[in-house]
Amino acid sequence: MDPTSLQRLVFLTSLLSCSTNQARLTVTPSSSQVFKDERVSLRCEDASDGWTVMRNTSIDNRAECGVNWGTSAGSSCTIGSSDPFENGVYWCESTEGSTSNTITITISGGSVILQSPALPVMEGDDVTLTCRTEMADNLPADFFKDGIFIGTESAGHMTLQHVSRSDEGLYKCSVQNRESPESRLSVSEKPTTTMDPLLRHLVVFCPYCICTYIVVSLYRERATGNDSSVSVAMTPPTRAEQGLDDDYDDVMSAVTTELQF
Ligand SMILES: *[C@@H]1O[C@H](CO)[C@@H](O)[C@H](O)[C@H]1NC(C)=O
């Protein structure tokens, strides 16, 4: 294998590993509101080393977990009761500056919270909102959307069935006239969320096939040498070089396509 082919392979491989490494932030418990003394775990999933959890709050921007808040362990971060409680927008960031999805978490100092999904829910799903108090669960609760009363639930749970984009908004609840903070419910459209992973897998899978093909054809080229009876049936050296350039362009356009997502 000559040095330029080797360089190309190294370049392609690093491009591919960059383009496939898109971290996703998840939170446990999966709620956009928690009580002040509850422990919250944030995790950068599908992330290699070098991704950290960051947050913006009203007092600090782009603050890294483990520096002035939270306890960092690899690509995870835990917020304990000893941390100054702050509402914030959280995300994962790589050392190269790539970012994940964001999650807004409201840490309530009050006695009532609304448990609603921290991540966008999919169109058509059933979504349960739970009104919790520090004293007891399952108390009768009033629910509000965008400040408007939408109903009372005797056990404190409201289920929105087959949610659509029109269910998006700011929700809150109240128990015995004590109100929770408000949190946004986001609903993502079904077609895009079901298409995206499929497309992404195709785009990611193809370059790997092409890479394998390049390696195999380069290997064959070397292995068969000038044995014409084999190289005619398989891949003659000049043809392989030509193919390499075409494949290189294919991979580049595939990678470019993915980066535009
Ligand atoms: C965090 O704050 C920085 C600086 O104000 C801003 O540029 C960035 O967009 C914020 N990020 C999020 C996710 O809100």
**What whole-number distance in Å separates Cα of residue 72 and Cα of residue 4?**
42
Q: H or E segment at 148?
A: strand 148-153
Task: Please give the distance, rounded to the nearest whole angstrom, from the Cα atom of residue 199 to the centre of ligand 1.
Answer: 29
If DSSP codes are grouped into helix, strand and coil, which group holds residue 222? helix
pLDDT of residue 6: 53
Write down all domains in the chain, each with its CATH number in brackets.
22-109 (2.60.40.10), 111-190 (2.60.40.10)
Return the closest-CA partner of residue 41 out of 68, 80, 69.
80
What's residue 86's pLDDT?
A: 72
List 78's β-bridge partners, or say none: 41, 71
Q: Which residue from 148, 136, 129, 27 is spatially nearest to 78, judged by alpha carbons?
A: 27
Tell me if 98 CB under 6 Å of ligand 1. no
Tell me, using a 6 A CB cutoff, whether residue 61 lines ligand 1. Answer: yes
Residue type, 154: S
**Residue minimizing CA distance to atom 3 of ligand 1:** 61
CA of 46 to the centre of ligand 1 (A): 23
Q: Which atom of ligand 1 is nearest to the CA of 56?
A: 1
Tell me, what's the pLDDT at 46? 84
Each residue's pLDDT, cut to its tens digit, for the chain (261 residues) gives 555 665 665 555 544 444 456 799 999 999 999 998 888 999 999 877 789 999 999 888 999 999 988 999 989 999 887 666 678 999 999 998 999 999 999 988 889 999 999 999 999 999 999 999 988 888 999 999 999 999 999 999 999 999 999 999 999 999 999 999 999 999 998 865 455 566 666 666 665 656 567 777 777 777 665 554 444 444 444 444 444 455 555 544 554 444 444
pLDDT (0 to 100) of residue 108: 86
Q: Where are the alpha helices (DSSP H) in 78-227?
A: 190-224
What's the confidence (pLDDT) of residue 239? 46
Give the whole-angstrom CA distance, residue 249 versus residue 261. Answer: 19
- CA-nearest of 82, 22, 89 to 62 is 89
Instruction: Name the nearest CA neighbour of 107 among 89, 126, 127.
Output: 89
